[in-house]
Amino acid sequence: MEKRNQAAKLIIGAVIVIIAVLFVAGIVSQHDIKYKSAPLSRDDIDYRQVEAPAATSADETITASDWNAIFPDIVVSWGRNAENEEVVDYLELDPYLVEIYEGYGFAKDYGSARGHNYTLTDVAKTKRPHGMANCLTCKTPNFTKLVNDEGVEVYSRPFDEVYAQITENGGETVSCYTCHGNNPGNGTQPKENLTVTHSYITKALGDNLSTIDPGVLACGQCHIEYYFNPETKETTMPHDSVDAMTPEATYDYFTEIGFSDWTQESTGAKMLKVQHPEMETVLLGKHAGVLNCADCHMPVVQNPQTQNIYHSHTLVSPLKDKTLLETCLACHKDLGAKNADEMITFVQNIQARISAEETRVGNLLADFKRALAEANQSGSVSEDRLNEVRELYRKAQWFFDYCYVENSEGAHNSELATRCLNTAEELINQGMALLKAE
């Protein structure tokens, strides 16, 4: 019996030595041995190069369900975005928007974004009119694949026809193909298998594509300012580099090509509607040099059962996640935020300040719009003066909108948000002074 015990001890000791050797050699990772305490980082993830699974969809996009057997934790985390189902009615929250957007679809229906799982549902039920399929641009990877396969003429097809084609063939909402295409595995590096699937991005940025972090581009290909080309109806970016992404440069671009989204009947002004320039706002700010979208919205987590460490694909505010707050504190501790609570307060103070300014300037803009509409309809103001004021109104609305529709309330780039609102107010004051001078 004693010999057996000694033999057992020798075997156990040998196993421990082997595991130690393999660990040092990197053949067995720390994640195979024990559960790692937070905070976690990208360096803790075991990136693996694996073959892509066979596509089961009609259009050969590799779907989340196709990837489930290989990356179950990631697929489950992506599905949790369905828990983000609350919608804020902006028209109810900020009634002045109805005045500003008069004559355009956003005056009828404008709600906050919710989880990516609802993109197809929400675009179908919106009260904003959508006659063409280009409204599906960022709503489903199946539309992206359709454009990539058949060309830009897809954008001008009837919305109902293409929507039915996608949904009847089991189309997905925003999913794996959107950011990864049909690429294999998740590589050996964090950004290795991110890809830009939307052709209008590569077309616009060209060689400048490589100057932008892939972790920003993957999300930014949808979270951008865009317009529909008046001739082809294709989704189009109004800039070809980061330097051209400023609100001033983009406004000049639209003016040079004579573009407007709609003509407002009461004022006679040719108006622009900003979309959601998150990528531009981030790239023009301080965060772009040190962070990408995943760093702030996709925490690194560990499955306590399997011990697998991975990037969660449940997209969250960094204010609601301890791991992400640690990322913020890496820099902000030097700026005065000593802990998570102070970091949250710091950001919330920025957002409260920007939101209050949006409300104040938005109401000023609505007053300006009403004054211009009255002057336009009275016949007492010369057409030359009206055109001068219309231009100031169009531009003021652009700068206000650039801040309002960017979904971080100043957290991404508070300097830019403040500049946009200050510029809008200056333009409003100039326009009101011209009207009063008549």
Tell me, yes or no, whether 10 and 102 share the same domain: no
Could you give the 3-state DSSP secondary structure of residue 53? coil
For range 76-104, the mean pLDDT: 96
Domain assignment present for residue 52? The answer is: no
pLDDT of residue 36: 58
Residue 436 has pLDDT above 80, yes or no: yes
Q: What is the DSSP string of 18-49?
A: HHHHHHHHTSS-GGGTSPPPSPP-GGGS----
pLDDT in tens, 257-267: 999 999 999 99
For residues 177 and 28, membership in a common domain is answered with no
Give percent above pLDDT 90 in the chain: 80
Looking at the domain assignment, is residue 286 inside a domain? yes
Digit-coded pLDDT (tens) for 198-248: 999 999 999 999 999 999 999 999 999 999 999 999 999 999 999 999 999
Look at residues 137, 138, 141 and name the one whose alpha carbon lies nearest to residue 154: 137
Asked whether residue 256 falls in the same domain as residue 383, the answer is: yes
Q: Is residue 19 part of a domain?
A: yes
Mean pLDDT of 176-188: 85
Q: Are 254 and 230 in contact (CB under 8 A)?
A: no
Average pLDDT over residues 262-282: 97
Domain span holding position 26: 2-34
Looking at the fold, whether 23 and 130 belong to one and the same domain comes out as no
The yes-or-no verdict on residue 15 having pLDDT over 50 is no
Residue 11 has pLDDT above 60, yes or no: no
pLDDT at 188: 61
| 139 pLDDT higher than 90 | yes
Q: What's the pLDDT score for residue 22?
A: 36
Q: What is the pTM of this model?
A: 0.89
Domain check: are 348 and 247 in the same one?
Answer: yes
> Which whole number is the average pLDDT over 390-400?
98
pLDDT number for residue 35: 52
69 and 30 in one domain?
no
- 29 pLDDT band, cuts 50/70/90, is very low
On whether residue 50 sits in a domain, the answer given is no
Domain-located, residue 417? yes
Residues 138 and 23 in one domain: no
Question: pLDDT at residue 28 above 50?
Answer: no
The whole-number average pLDDT for the span 109-115 is 93
The more confident residue out of 189 and 2 is 189
Domain co-membership, 23 together with 110: no
Give the CATH number for residue 248: 1.10.1130.10
Within a domain: residue 133?
Answer: yes
What is the per-residue pLDDT for 5?
44
Range 112-139 average pLDDT? 94
Cα separation, 303 vs 280, in Å, equals 34
Residues 195, 244: one domain?
A: yes
Average pLDDT over residues 278-293: 94
Q: How many structural domains compose the chain?
A: 2
Could you report the per-residue pLDDT of 242-254, keeping only the tens digit for each?
A: 999 999 999 999 9
Same domain, 73 and 143: yes
Q: Are 195 and 218 in contact (CB under 8 A)?
A: yes
Closest CA to 39 of 299, 271, 225, 249: 299
Q: Does residue 154 lie in a domain region?
A: yes
Quote the pLDDT of residue 24.
34
Answer yes or no: do 233 and 272 share one domain. yes
Confidence grade of residue 73 (pLDDT, cut at 50, 70, 90):
very high
State whether 228 and 100 are in the same domain. yes
Residue 43 inside a domain? The answer is no
